[in-house]
Structure 1
């Protein structure tokens, strides 16, 4: 305000002087000295030129500002007082006014007596006689340097604040006491799908797609205005694409210099993805809980229903069935419980017999099984293989098994998955007198899938044909083939020192027992990283089995790094499906999946000990 008042008052003084000069054209009543006294009394740099633009007068303010001797800027000398970058522009603009008679106005940098160039506003008007001819030009120079710099700083600050506001993904806005929008950043414009001219000056009710949501937002704003307190709250809003977006808003009172609340200022963050992730996590937790309880219920039933003549056979039967469930669970986990490849399931269930060349044929189209079909079929395959090992083809060196599967047409529109299990070269078989738990488990599993099973007890071996509705979940797909573990060599493990790291007491006891039965010497078990480090500092193992998770927060990776530095081979004994779940440096590590059986443990240990030797 101070600069504007000074500038305007100086311009009015210059115009009054011009009027006096015009009145003087036809009269000699005012002496030239009197006019000079008047112009020098004006608190403004004043100059005057002839009609052709020749500068012949400057008042005292000009010389005080520039510090040049009087008379040195007469004629064309005035232009040398400007900044070199402004001289041509100022000269051209002045020449245009001389040619047209239009008012002259321009900003340029004028050299101050201190040697510093200061921004100055130059103005001039023509003085005309009664005929309209220009008889003189009267002009002023006003120091606007501080105003110019302040204006530039404000403009730069405003641009910077706008850039900062538009650079954040958060919604930033300000509203007045009536809820009218005063400011929005680019994120707000994107969220509501409108340009600023369609938002500013409006309330949320004027453009929000959902009136109830708009009223809820404005109620939150009103609470901030009425209480003067900051509010941190969840809000929802229908975006321009029509979907509901979830936001977390922090709103604070906007106050004037007298500390009166004049509106609100808010920062709102889109938390839709986080909310969706939280909901997925909640559903996943429920699903994991359901599946874990369901699996425990199945295992409980297997334990309660399994029958055997002695404890060793009972343990072997129960362990085998639990291992079958664990294998299919691992495949399902690897596929994120989407679907698994039928060939891969068959390979895993028959891996122990494939190594003995007792499977002469595995053939069928590449199919994927949904979880509801995979689990029962894994138990069926396990029971068929177990029965063959006890009484059928797998019990004789020359025995062989063929397994085929295909999709066949049905009377209905739904195809059937047909699996044919055929044994040859085994002992002569006859229809069993009584039905054991294994047979009952096979039948009930197929009934669970809505299918049928046929047994033919041939002299050459068992023939079993299974038909189950394929359903929309069984689809063709090229399957990956799982590697088969090599046959364990008992001699290779005799006397081998194996470090065992496991924090679950029961699992540690069972694995220690299996290691001892394999002829190994057990170093441990160690239930923590600290305990394991102490053991390997005192004694060097030949191989190691490491549980990944130890306690609530510890992991065995430090032990693995130590062993790697000692060139001691190790395997992770874990529920992870494969090494892809581990840190990158352990991608090539061997995995002994949990729960673990003796055959698989011996196979992994054989490879470790062989690598060590």
Structure 2
């Protein structure tokens, strides 16, 4: 009875095992992907139903090395396959397989080795998945990327580049291998190189977006201006996994900006020359005529008998009015162009202007100038004086502050001018717009002398700051 029971148990176990194998076989043959196994030398010993249906091969046709006949001739590379198998490591590759109607489709093939207890490979198992739709999408995306009028690039987190589109390569005359890694740096203009690389390395280090205007050498050896931008792509944990960027040709825009800057400079120069001319005429002609008029009015009053009280009073009022006109003409002449700026320089001109401004407005102005400030180029002194003049005017009109401070500092590298108040702060909408007045005028003047103007405003006050290189 024991032998019968053991035999019955064995039959039941075999039945269960056979049922599991049949079910596994059914699953492997049913799943919508190609499943296979190969011996250590690469010859196939199993190909699922999906392989046979797709290729039209019989099982006998595909076993051994027969499976290779389904591959596109360019993807067969027997030696390459043998090298991958000999390496004994998991691998994957993209290949084209011929369908039973003769059409080739792209597949992603993945293989992993099975080893025995001694580490020897006893079998290779793999999947071959259809990626034709993905490849077509990639091809369309690549065509789009290469067609748009933009240089496009990407690279790993370390800041090197491993991809750039056709337009960048054709514009520079360099191949992808020449631009890979840090090779793209060879096309930078020598004057831009340090600035660009410093900014790029800072972005890579901190993971911040990159943006610089830089000159790139073209295939003809000439340099053109580009606006380069780069942004990081991060994973779910916030780690940068890749950089993507574009280079936009802005050469025409730079030429237009330069032409606008030239015309604006001419306009400001013409404006200053006209101010100088009007100031001189007011001082030398109108002002002198008014002085003569006031003198004659005084003499006329003295010639009228004292009993003519009404006439004497009328002449006195005319004399007062003439004296007021003299003061206003002199003030206007000074505001148009202070002679002290030409005679004594920026520091003396500002001190003189501040004294008059305080008397006219009642605003107390503290002036702080670094020792031995000295003289600068006339156009620089005039531009800085106009910034002081416009800033104090804005304080009087907009801030409500009764105090202001002017600080002028000069060191070996640059000159800094700051005009600040303790008022209620001002918004851009409170400034008049247009060339020649307000903030736009100050920006343009400072730009003309190669400097930078910043305006910081809050409820605690406003600071206008100008920085210019001392050599300019």
| TM range, smaller chain | 0.3 to 0.5
Which structure has the bigger radius of gyration?
Answer: 1
TM-score (norm 1): 0.27
TM-score (norm 2): 0.34
